[in-house]
Structure 1
């Protein structure tokens, strides 16, 4: 069983933020700081699922009063599902440890899903880092969002708990967020809020270049298709 450290409690949260993290000490403080700065009347809790970090990830999570779950680092899908299982909110918001939400994130995105009768949604994003990160940003905002079954990236996905449970959470396959999005959209309505509500790091592009990054995700998607998701 995973260990569970809880330093802060939120009574009956509307939303549970689930943040998978492994050796994310350089980024996590920015993510949790943005969640602490949300300007909203909705109540939220934050769950950090630590993937056996060797840096100060857990200490930073405790510093911000997050619930800390420890997971062996097997996969990001396992971490997200573990966080969802521990969560108590009606809505689950999945963000990554290098994602910063804007202050109006919850008010805008929850208002959008409720106004449109959606089971899940993402929003437009900004990818920080090298100039070539703009291509990934444009792909997410103007390609993923227009698909018949929109791809809701794991770094920015809000889903109702019942919908999440209905499809069994994130499958343990490559490109788990694509597989999750497609399974969800086959049964329930999903969409993109056309406002920029998060910023995510373009660090992979900085490290591997645009071509290397595209090849990485293409390889993962081939694995997903081979797994028949």
Structure 2
């Protein structure tokens, strides 16, 4: 896709966006619309990995010209890995079905990784929803980003395809994005672009409350640690 979102590239794209989705008809239109209106001269493709949805998710994805890949719905890690396998871009941009990227996302983030010699990066984000969702936003922007081995959230991870292949993609464990980014940053340089480039939904907090959402991630992190990631 070029500036207008059409598939007018010659040769392989610079970036492949991978969007895992299962029954995301209520959200995915916003995500794909934001990708279609990126303000960039870089060429990119969009791959939606559909986890056996029973709603209109695949139809909406095709409406926006995305390449729809069918997956059994086994896990988000499996969906992201399958999307990466089908991707042809030099860089892989992982976003979720409820993520909306800013118009300057691709130009800003690709310029950032190339200028700093990085294998992967994320950026600051905005979490929409209830006020308590701001705690998650602050944690990501000013906590995850400052770790010696930064955690790149699954809804906003930008990775060179060779680096992705080197560490074997996302592992099949709880909090797979934490496991993936820690393994990656142990071997290769990663960082955060200090610009807000995406907005993600705080729907889990809205549905489960802050304590419920924290318990969800804690349980998954225990699973990750038990698997020694």
Distance (whole Å) between structure 1 residues aligned to residue 199 and residue 25 of structure 2? 18
How far apart, CA to CA, are the structure 2 residues paired with 1:32 and 1:163? Answer: 26
Structure 2: distance between partners of 1:151 and 1:221: 13
Q: 1:8, 1:145 → 2: CA distance?
A: 34
Q: Which residue of 1 aligns with 2:115?
A: 115
CA contact (8 A) 1:17 1:44 kept: yes
Q: 1:50 matched to which residue of 2?
A: 50
5 Å-filtered alignment, 1:119-198, equals 119-198=119-198
Distance in 2, matches of 1:155 and 1:222, equals 21
TM-score w.r.t. length of structure 1:
0.96
Q: How far 1:9 sits from its partner (Å)? A: 7.0
Residue 15 of structure 1 aligns with which residue?
15
- How far apart are the structure 2 equivalents of 1:224 and 1:67? 31
Q: Are positions 1:65 and 2:65 aligned together? A: yes
Count of aligned positions = 223
Counterpart-to-counterpart distance in 2, 1:53 and 1:143: 34
TM-score by length of 2: 0.96
DSSP 3-state at the match of 2:40: coil
Query: How far off its partner does 1:62 sit?
Result: 0.3
In 1: Cα distance, 2:76 partner to 2:52 partner: 12
Partner residue of 2:80?
A: 80
- In structure 1, runs of 5+ residues without a counterpart are 1-6
Q: Is the 8 A contact 1:47 1:69 kept in 2?
A: yes
For residues 33-82 of structure 1, what are the alpha-carbon distances to aligned partners after superposition, in whole Å with 9 as ceiling and x for unaligned?
00001000100000000000000000000000000000000000000000
RMSD: 1.0
C-alpha displacement of 1:8: 5.5
Contact 1:18/1:83, CA 8 A, preserved across alignment? yes
Q: Which segments of structure 1 move beyond 4 Å, counting only runs of 4 or more?
A: 7-10
Give the 3-state SS of the residue equivalent to 2:74 in structure 1.
coil
Counterpart CA distance in 1 for 2:23 and 2:126 is: 23
| Whole-angstrom distance in 2 between the partners of 1:190 and 1:10 | 28
- Tell me the SS of whatever aligns to 2:114: helix
In structure 1, what is the equivalent of residue 3 of structure 2?
Answer: none
Question: In structure 2, what is the Cα distance between the partners aligned to 1:132 and 1:174?
Answer: 23
